[in-house]
Amino acid sequence: MRAILDVVLIALDLYTYVIIAAAIFSWLYAFNVVNPRNQVVSMIGNALYQMTEPVLRPIRNVMPNLGGLDLSPIVLLLLIMLIQRLIIYYVYPLAF
């Protein structure tokens, strides 16, 4: 049981890095730091979008419109941290 919980915690950590990478990439794309017509840049952006958008879209639908400010990655990161803490403090000690 602990091995499964360890895998879940590692997966949540990895997804945290994917969310941060997607946020940084969106800033680089918005400020024209990266060339969107470059095939490699386009593939990276598309992969990050496809990995994060299914989870971020429901959060964006619930959150109020703040203009151009998108706080959904921050909300998702806080939810991931909450899930990790719940697993570490309440589920992990009870696993045999």
Residue range 59-76, pLDDT digits in tens: 999 999 888 899 999 999
Domain that holds residue 86: 2-94
What confidence category does residue 92 fall into, taking pLDDT thresholds of 50, 70 and 90? confident
Q: Check residue 25 and give its pLDDT.
A: 97
**Mean pLDDT score, 16-27:** 97
**Mean pLDDT score, 81-95:** 92
* Domain count across the chain: 1
1: CB partners within 8 A, 6+ apart: 95, 96
Q: Residue 72 gets which letter from DSSP?
A: H
Flag whether pLDDT at 1 surpasses 90.
no
